[in-house]
């Protein structure tokens, strides 16, 4: 089912599958800014990643001596998540652990995903409650895809990502199958605070960066259209479109965690860059998309 909220500047729509944002329209001219899921390249729009980010080796992990299976980016993005509250400019989806989730993720929890509009900004607020009597291991991430070009203005190569200040990010070294090799290198694709976009930069799949500022803006050389992504708590930033294609979109992916180490089946308690939440504890984080 599709749900919609709007104000005088933005109209946003969501699917109950994964509580996923599926449309982000600039009401000034009716332009769609969010990728609309062409199966030729990628059928997604803006996945919510929980409780892992990226791939698990053999689709498996271990916890307390037991082996569990979980698909790419975790189970939330494929789960039907009911709406528990809706207003004109705000909507909340709530995912609660159940018999099915406990088979693949052995923790009791409640996750509220709340979208709200303010002027030209859409905020996604995540509130996770550990309903269990043990420490919970988890990660959050975003996977929004934005049309490039925006509004048909210019070519893909006219677009770039710009941080608020000069940066020297590290690039995670990844295997050909998109697993982490456990080391980083200097990212050569940045000029001061600008990352020029090209289709060829994704020939080896996603680019994962560490040590980046907490916001980045998609800009271009031919129009004033922009998309700003703010991620105050995320440690990593992925940039992606379908590899070895001329796909007309770019995903800007703030993640807390990273894919599994190459050829390693992770133990959840020692998996790299995971978060922990004490019994009965609560964790909150957010992503913000601003469009012009």
Cβ count near 278 (within 10 Å)? 12
| pLDDT digits (tens), the chain, 292 positions | 999 999 999 999 999 999 999 999 999 999 999 999 999 999 999 999 999 999 999 999 999 999 999 999 999 999 999 999 999 999 999 999 999 999 999 999 999 999 999 999 999 999 999 999 999 999 999 999 999 999 999 999 999 999 999 999 999 999 999 999 999 999 999 999 999 999 999 999 999 999 999 999 999 999 999 999 999 999 999 999 999 999 999 999 999 999 999 999 999 999 999 999 999 999 999 999 999 9
- Of the candidates 45, 26, 29, 15, which has an alpha carbon nearest to the alpha carbon of residue 253? 45
Structural domain boundaries, residue 192: 2-291
DSSP 46-114: EEEE-S--S--GGGEEEETTEEEE--TT-SGGGSB--EEEEETTEEEEEEE--HHHHHHS---EEEEEE
Q: How far apart are CA 226 and CA 231, in angstroms?
A: 16
* Contact criterion met (CB below 8 Å) for 138 and 274: yes
pTM, full prediction: 0.97
* Contact criterion met (CB below 8 Å) for 159 and 149: yes
Q: How far apart are CA 216 and CA 230, in angstroms?
A: 7
Cross-strand pairs, 127: 112, 284
User: Residue 194 belongs to a domain with what CATH number?
Assistant: 2.70.98.10
The sign of the dihedral angle between the CA atoms of 1, 255, 119, 88 is positive
What is the count of structural domains for the chain? 1
């Amino acid at each position: 089912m599709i749900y919609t909220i709007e104000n005088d500047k933005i109209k946003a729509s969501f699917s109950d599958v994964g509580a996923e944002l599926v449309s982000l329209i600039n009401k000034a001219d009716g332009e769609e800014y969010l990728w609309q899921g062409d199966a030729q390249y990628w059928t997604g729009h803006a996945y919510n990643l929980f409780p892992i980010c990226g791939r698990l080796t053999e689709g498996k992990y271990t916890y307390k001596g037991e082996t569990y299976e979980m698909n790419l980016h975790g189970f939330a993005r494929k789960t039907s998540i009911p709406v528990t509250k809706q207003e004109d400019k705000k909507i909340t989806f709530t995912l609660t652990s159940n018999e099915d989730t406990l088979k693949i993720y052995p923790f009791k929890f409640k996750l509220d995903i709340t979208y709200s509009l303010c002027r030209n900004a859409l905020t996604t607020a995540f509130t996770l409650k550990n309903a269990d009597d043990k420490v919970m291991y988890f990660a959050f991430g975003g996977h929004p895809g934005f049309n490039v070009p925006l509004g048909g203005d210019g070519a893909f190569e006219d677009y770039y990502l710009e941080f608020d200040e000069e940066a020297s990010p590290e690039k995670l070294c990844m295997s050909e199958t998109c697993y982490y090799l456990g080391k980083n290198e200097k990212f050569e694709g940045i000029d001061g605070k600008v990352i020029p976009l090209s289709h060829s930069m994704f020939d080896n799949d996603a680019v994962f960066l560490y040590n980046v500022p907490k916001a980045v803006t998609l800009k271009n050389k031919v129009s004033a259209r922009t998309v700003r992504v703010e991620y105050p708590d995320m440690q990593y930033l992925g940039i992606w479109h379908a590899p070895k294609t001329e796909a007309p979109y770019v995903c800007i992916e703030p993640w807390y965690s990273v894919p599994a180490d190459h050829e390693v089946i992770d133990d959840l308690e020692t998996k790299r860059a995971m978060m922990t939440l004490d019994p009965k504890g609560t964790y909150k984080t957010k992503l913000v998309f601003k469009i012009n």
